[in-house]
Structure 1
Amino acid sequence: MWRHLNSLQFRLTMLLAVAAVAGALVYVGLTQWPLPQLIGWLHKDLAVSLRTPAQMGMYGGLVVSVLVLLPLAWGLAYQVMAPVSRLLRALEGAVASYRDGDFSFSIAARRSDELGELIRMHNALGQTLRDQRQHLVQRELLLETVVQNTPVALVLTDISGRVVYSNIASRHLFNDGKSLNGLNFADTLTAAPEALSRAVESGEDALLSVELDGAEETFHLSQRAFRLQGRPHRLHLFRRMTRELSRQEVATWKRVIRVISHELNNSLAPISSLAHSGAELARRGDLERLPGVFATIGERARHLHGFIAGYASFAKLPAPQPQAVEWEPFLASLALHCRYQLASPVPAHPSHFDPVQIEQVLINLIKNAHESGSAEDGVSLAILDAGSELRIEVADRGPGMSETVLAQALLPFYSTKRSGTGLGLALAREIAEAHGGRVLLANREGGGLRVSLRLPQYGSR
């Protein structure tokens, strides 16, 4: 109840009622009493000749009443609008402060009506903006601390190539610890190793080794273009990979040694045992069984030779020699080595790749598809022309791969087969990446695995 009695609407209603009563009283006072009596007294006793508003008629009385009420109405209007005007001026100042980024502006709230509630809501908004601003400042400070102290060298350049932001690592890498801001990044790179400057000029991500301070350092360069405040910028990230790659190299060598040791033991142990058995048979004069012993020794030796040759071919993979390849003779040659179902029309125009290396990849992939347990007619080969990219897909209807195996299947020496070397898919990946392409693995709907070989086709038209 008190809230309604103290509301702005109630106060305006009361002021309008007061104004109406005052208007009626003024009209009565001017036309009925006491003004006519006062004028009559002046005319009678003082001989002052004046006309009363009543003598002017109803309209004359109204006009005189309005003239008398105008100052009163002006005063009442001022009393009503003064706090609203002050509030509007305060809100105007607050909006101007917010526009300039100053959220410390607040308005004193001494009212209990709707205007007071508006003032309190405005102050609450200001407090919220101040809290958010402080939170953003703290986050920016944290982000600035992290970026400045990260070991990754970060350089942000604008469209003209000038550095607009750089962290501590980039200053030490390119400018002896001095600030890079405002410098032309291309000019700064002239003092850097040539391999580093060429990698930046290429605009692509790269993994490169350079000599710094008499030691070889490996960097991973990542470059991204984006718009900042509506303007194009470019972000360059230089991450030192020497320590990480050294650890990975050691881990890889340990794994290679374990795999090779395991395979050597699996072959040398039977060979040693068979050699001892052969010597014992020869000592006893049992010559009939010696050919079988020697045949088994030869078989194990050939297996060991093939195993070592596979590792050697992976380690000595030559650079690809891309050339225009016609599909009809290429597939005819491939059919001599393996069986498959062609699942798509052959492209009419030649494609561009190293036919020897890609044929070896497809032989391995089709062989793996047959060894997966798929039916012979379930192994298919599809050749898809995607414009600037060639897609060669080998699919089977075997059991597919689990998520864990899919994540590691392309790693060298990883195999789920008892006698596998883990080099087939790794070799396919190595050859694809040497062509500038990639290998993708995915399970098929309805069961099976699809291996997709993606090769760029620059200059193939």
Structure 2
Amino acid sequence: MTRRLHSLEGRLSLLLLLAGLGGVAIYIGVTEWPLPQLLAWLHADLKVGEAPPVRLGSVAGLVISVVVLLPMALWMASVVMSPVSRLLRALEGSVASYRDGDFSLSLVVDRRDELGELITMHNALGQTLREQRQHLVQRELLLDTVVQNTPVALVLTDGVGRVAYANIAARHLFNEGRSLHGLDFGEVLNDAPAALREAIEQGEDALLTVEMDGSEETFHISQRAFRLQGRPHRLQLFRRMTRELSRQEVASWKRVIRVISHELNNSLAPISSLAHSGAELARRGELDRLPGVFATIGERARHLHGFIAGYASFAKLPAPRRTAIAWTPFLDALALHCQFRLLGDPPSQPGWFDAAQVEQVLINLIKNAHEAGGPDDEVTLALQVVGRDLRVVVADRGPGMSETVLAQALLPFYSTKRAGTGLGLALAREIAEAHGGRIALANREGGGLQVALLLPLGGVRDS
């Protein structure tokens, strides 16, 4: 009850009650007592004889009551609305400060009514905004520090091509370390290599090698268009790939050397041992055992020859000779080399690829599917025309691949098999890309792996 009386509603109700009681008192005083008696006394005092009784009518009483109550009502309204008006002015100034990004203002008013609760909530809002602003400033500072010190050159341009933001790497790449802010990026690129300018004008991601400062530099360019504060902007990233590609090249050569060394040791060590054993058998005259020794040496030599030939075929992959391929004879020839189950009917449209190269790819993929460990009758081949591409899918029901293996399976010399060379899928990728297509690996729902080979149809993307 006490809290309700201290509320703004309680105060207003009390003042209205007092105003009503005051109006009733004034009306009674004007029409009943003491004003009529006072008027009668004055009349009797001023005139001779007995004074008649004086009474005002109800209309006159109401008029006099309104005249008396009006100033009182205005005064009471000013008393009630004064704190509200002050609070509204304070809130107006606070909101204006918030609009300008200043969240440091707090209101100090000692009230226990609804206005006090509003002030408390306002101050809590200001504190929250201050904390969020502080955190935002810290994150912006961290982000700017990271962006400014990244080796990737970053240039942000507005709708008319002027530089709105550029980090340190971009300033050194395009303007000898000087600021790029406000410059026309097209004019800045006038001194850049022509290949770099053309790649930027195309507006697409690109990987290109250009000559800069007397040496070749490889860049990966990423470009994205978006709207910032309702205005169009373009973000361009220039990443120097020369060192990264050099490291990858060295790492690839190291892998090649390790694989070749391992395979050579696995073949040369038995050959050396067998040669020594053959010489010992010949010395002792045990000639009947020599053919077996020579046969084993020949088998290891053929294995080593096949291994080296596989590397040579990967390194010297000829350009594909694409021709129209009829599906029935192609699939019949493929079935002579490997076992698979064809899903659906072949497309009515003939294929357009190098039959020998694609056949070798499919033989390797189907062989891998059988070696995955699933049922042989679950190794399937599906042919489907998707748009202007031919989609060839080889699938199995083996254990599939982990995410790590999926990410590296197409890299040359990467293999999870103890005796694997890591060239099968890499060779398949090279052949697919030479045809203007691509290859993709994915795990299947329910277990297994599917390898999708996408090839253009009818000479699409031929070059």
Q: What TM-score comes out, normalization by structure 2 length?
A: 0.89
Gaps of 5+ in 2: none
**Per-residue displacement from partner, 1:15-51 (whole Å, max 9, x unpaired)?**
1222122112211221223322332233233359xx9
What is the correspondence of 1:46-85 to structure 2 with a 5 Å cutoff?
46=46, 55-85=55-85
- Residues 233, 390 of structure 1: CA spacing in aligned structure 2 closer, same or farther, 3 A cutoff? farther
Q: Which sits farther off after the overlay, 269-278 or 19-28?
A: 269-278
Question: Hey, what does 1:335 align to over in structure 2?
Answer: 335
The CA distance in 2 between the partners of 1:169 and 1:362, in whole Å, is 46
The equivalent of 2:272 in structure 1 is: 272
Secondary structure in 1 matching 2:256:
helix
Separation in structure 2 between the aligned mates of residue 225 and residue 329 of structure 1, nearest angstrom = 49
CA distance in 2, matches of 1:11, 1:218: 79
Counterpart for residue 103 of structure 2: 103
Residues 314, 423 of structure 1: 8 Å contact kept:
yes
- Cα distance in 2 for partners of 1:354, 1:174 equals 45
Cα separation, 2, equivalents of 1:216 and 1:460: 33
* Segment of structure 1 superposing worse, 178-187 or 418-427: 178-187
Q: CA RMSD in A?
A: 2.9
Residues 54 and 60 of structure 1 are in contact (CA less than 8 Å); yes or no, is this contact kept in structure 2? no
Distance 2:100 2:233 in 1: 26
Preserved contact between residue 429 and residue 438 of structure 1 (Cα < 8 Å)? yes
Alpha-carbon distance, 1:167 to partner:
0.9
> How many Å apart are 1:437 and its aligned residue?
4.0
Give 1:178's aligned amino acid.
R
CA gap 1:266/1:52 in 2 versus in 1, 3 angstroms: farther
Partner of 2:136: 136
Q: Which residue of 2 aligns with 1:247?
A: 247
| 1:425 counterpart residue number | 425
1:199: how far off?
Answer: 2.9
Encode CA deviations 1:323-367: one digit per residue, 9 max, x unaligned: 654444443443343332211332222445444432221121112
Distance in 1 of aligned mates of 2:105 and 2:117:
17
Give the match for residue 366 of structure 2.
366
Corresponding letter in the other structure for 1:243:
R
| 1:429-444 correspondence to structure 2 within 5 Å | 429-444=429-444
The answer to whether 1:257 aligns with 2:267 is no
Corresponding letter in the other structure for 2:307 = F
Q: Which amino acid aligns with 1:40?
A: A
Structure 1 counterpart of 2:169, one-letter code: A
Q: Distance in 2 between matches of 1:87 and 1:99?
A: 18
Aligned-pair CA distance for 1:302: 1.3
Secondary structure of residue in 2 paired with 1:180: coil
Q: Say whether the 8 Å CA contact 2:36–2:55 is kept in structure 1.
A: no
Equivalent-residue separation in structure 2 for 1:213 and 1:242 (angstroms)? 14
1:318–1:93 distance in 2 versus 1, CA, 3 Å: farther
Residue 157 and residue 336 in structure 1: after superposition, are their counterparts in 2 closer, same or farther (change >3 A)? farther
CA contact (8 A) 1:163 1:185 kept: yes
User: What secondary structure does 1:55 align onto?
Assistant: coil
How far residue 404 of structure 1 moved from its aligned partner, in angstroms, is 4.5
Segments of 5+ residues of structure 1 without an aligned counterpart are none
Q: How far apart, CA to CA, are the structure 2 residues paired with 1:460 and 1:158?
A: 37
- What SS does the aligned partner of 2:217 have? strand
Q: Is the 8 A contact 2:36 2:56 kept in 1?
A: no
2:210 and 2:216 in contact (8 A); partners too: yes
Q: Does 1:281 align with 2:281?
A: yes
User: Conserved in 2, the CA contact under 8 Å of 1:154 and 1:166?
Assistant: yes
Judged with a 3 Å threshold, the aligned counterparts in structure 2 of structure 1 residues 29 and 457 are, in CA distance, closer, same or farther, namely farther
Kept in 2: contact 1:435–1:455 (CA 8 A)? yes
Q: CA separation of 1:460/1:254 partners in 2, compared to 1, >3 Å: closer, same or farther?
A: closer
Partner of 2:185: 185
Q: Determine helix, strand or coil for the equivalent of 1:442.
A: strand
Contact 1:31 1:53 in 2 (8 A): no
Rounded Cα–Cα distance in structure 2 between residues aligned with 1:190 and 1:109:
64
2:14 aligned partner: 14
Note the C-alpha offset of 1:158. Answer: 3.1
Residues 210 and 282 (structure 1), Cα distance of their counterparts in 2 relative to 1, 3 Å cut: same
For 2:262, give the aligned amino acid. Answer: H
Distance 2:54 2:218 in 1: 108
**How far did 1:2 drift?**
4.6
- Contact 1:281 1:287 survives alignment (8 Å): yes
C-alpha contact 2:32 2:55 (8 A) present in aligned 1: no
SS in 1 for 2:55: helix
Residue 384 of structure 1 is matched in structure 2 by 384
| Residues 112, 90 of structure 1: alpha-carbon distance in 2 compared, 3 angstrom cutoff | same
Give the Cα–Cα distance (whole angstroms) in 1 for the partners of residues 227 and 326 of structure 2: 44
Aligned-residue offset at 1:384: 2.2
Q: Any idea what SS the aligned residue of 1:118 has?
A: helix
Paired position in structure 2 for 1:122: 122
Separation (CA, whole Å) in 1 of partners of 2:180 and 2:388:
39
- Given residue 198 of structure 1, which amino acid in structure 2 is its aligned partner? E
1:442-457 correspondence to structure 2 within 5 Å: 442-455=442-455
Residue 28 of structure 1 corresponds to 28
Contact between 1:396 and 1:449, CA under 8 Å: does it hold in 2?
A: yes
Aligned mates of 1:279, 1:421 — CA distance in 2: 33
Within 5 Å, which residues of 2 pair with 1:164-175?
Answer: 164-175=164-175
Cα displacement (A) at 1:419: 2.5
CA 134–331 in structure 1, closer or farther in 2 if over 3 Å, else same: same
Amino acid at match of 1:194: A
For 2:106 and 2:196, locate their aligned partners in 1 and report how far apart those are by CA, in whole Å.
55
Structure 1 pair 319/208, CA: closer, same or farther in 2 (3 Å)? farther
Q: Distance in 2 between matches of 1:73 and 1:54?
A: 29
Do the aligned partners of 2:351 and 2:458 also contact (CA within 8 Å) in 1?
A: no
Q: Does the aligned pair in 1 maintain the 2:274–2:297 contact within 8 Å?
A: yes
CA–CA separation in structure 2 for the residues paired with 1:332 and 1:324: 16
Contact 1:30 1:54 in 2 (8 A): no
